[in-house]
């Protein structure tokens, strides 16, 4: 058959942005290694499950004032220049994740959030990547592929590196893959929510959010 020119439009795409963050990850890692952690996930998976810091608003620490501002700047630059959103986003929650040998996480998304992000602080040889799951491809109609690409994949894996910042829609299901790392892998997870006018003027869904605060202890 004669070669056919085909144009593809990324309709309703779920972009995952990768940025090499210009931030002092050694400073953040030093705090992460001293934090107290608890195992997150189902009780039947505790043995091989990653742990997360007890503090879920870690960037609200005074020592992280500049780092919090830097993360919000990255998010808002991405929203304004790539996604073309008018609203600014503010950080709501942030926590450390520690993944040791062969540890994983349950597939999950992030509720009460618009965009989520993860900053990798320490990635050792063999550590597990992050896999995003596409639930729009029905598992009951499985078709073999000659190769996997962004158009046919039901999962997409990214192997992290120190200083890598990933930004993705909070609805996107993902999990940490088990790794063969001899030392713990540390990362900083974050959620962001829009402020300002949301919805259509003069509609029953219009709201004006002046600020958001992830401090659930108040």
Could you read off the pLDDT of 81-133 as tens digits, one per residue?
Answer: 999 999 999 999 999 999 999 999 988 999 999 999 999 999 988 999 999 99
Angle, vertex CA 19, rays to CA 93 and CA 39, nearest 5: 40
Segment 43-70 shows an average pLDDT of 89
pTM of the shown model: 0.90
Q: Model confidence at 218, in pLDDT bands (50, 70, 90)?
A: very low
The pLDDT assigned to 43 comes to 54
Angle, vertex CA 166, rays to CA 8 and CA 184, nearest 5: 135
Q: Is residue 90 within 8 Å of 212, Cβ to Cβ?
A: yes
Angstrom distance (rounded) from CA 138 to CA 19: 31
Mean per-residue pLDDT over the chain, rounded: 91
Angstrom distance (rounded) from CA 188 to CA 185: 11
Q: Is residue 186 within 8 Å of 96, Cβ to Cβ?
A: yes
Look up the CATH architecture of domain 17-194.
Sandwich (2.60)
Q: Model confidence at 205, in pLDDT bands (50, 70, 90)?
A: confident
Say whether 43 sits in a helix, a strand or coil: helix
Q: What is the rounded (10 degree) CA torsion for 42, 110, 12, 158?
A: -70
Segment 155-170 shows an average pLDDT of 96
Domain ranges across the chain:
17-194
């Amino acid at each position: 058959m004669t070669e056919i020119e085909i144009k593809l439009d990324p309709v309703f795409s779920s972009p995952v942005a990768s940025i090499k963050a210009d931030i002092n990850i050694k400073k953040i890692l030093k705090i992460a290694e001293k934090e107290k952690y608890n195992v997150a996930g189902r009780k039947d998976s505790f043995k091989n499950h990653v742990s997360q810091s007890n503090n879920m608003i870690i960037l609200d620490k005074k020592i992280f004032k500049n780092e919090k501002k830097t993360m919000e700047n990255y998010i808002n630059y991405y929203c304004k220049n790539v996604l073309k959103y008018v609203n600014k986003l503010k950080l709501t929650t942030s926590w450390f994740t520690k993944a040791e040998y062969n540890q994983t996480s349950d597939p999950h998304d992030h509720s009460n959030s618009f965009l989520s992000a993860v900053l990798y602080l320490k990635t050792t040889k063999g550590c597990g990547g992050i896999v995003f799951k596409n639930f729009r491809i029905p598992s009951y109609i499985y078709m073999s592929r000659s190769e996997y690409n962004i158009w046919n994949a039901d999962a997409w894996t990214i192997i992290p590196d120190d200083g890598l910042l990933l930004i993705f829609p909070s609805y996107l299901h993902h999990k940490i893959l088990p790794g063969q790392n001899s030392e713990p892998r540390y990362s900083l997870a974050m959620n962001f929510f829009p402020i300002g006018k949301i919805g259509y003027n003069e509609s029953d869904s219009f709201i004006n959010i002046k600020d958001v605060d992830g401090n659930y202890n108040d």
